[in-house]
Amino acid sequence: MKTTYRFTVSTIAVAMLLGLGACAGMSAQDKNTAIGAGAGAVGGAVLTGGSAIGTVGGAAVGGIIGHEVGK
């Protein structure tokens, strides 16, 4: 159990670091869209108990909100 947990945490940390490195050439509006999509995905997953549809829906709504805030 602890091995699986450590592996999962390590994988998430590496994915986050790679994702942040990809934001270097983005405009402010692009960054806001990406942040909104990420936050929306997490929120959608939490609210729907980890449902894939809830996660994707949350990411879409969060991305749209982040894009509009960036204007």
Query: Measuring CA to CA, which residue among 13, 9, 66 is closest to residue 38?
Result: 66
Over the stretch 40-65, which tens digit does the pLDDT of each residue have? 888 888 888 878 888 889 989 999 99
pLDDT at 49: 84
Q: Which of 9-13, 26-30, 33-37, 57-61 has the lowest mean pLDDT?
A: 9-13
Quick one: three-class SS letters along 1-13? CHHHHHHHHHHHH
CA angle centred on 66, ends 45 and 35, rounded to 5°: 60
Q: What is the pLDDT confidence band of residue 1, given thresholds at 50, 70 and 90?
A: low
Q: How far apart are CA 41 and CA 10, in angstroms?
A: 20
Q: What is the pLDDT of residue 50?
A: 79
pLDDT tens per residue, range 23-32? 678 888 888 8
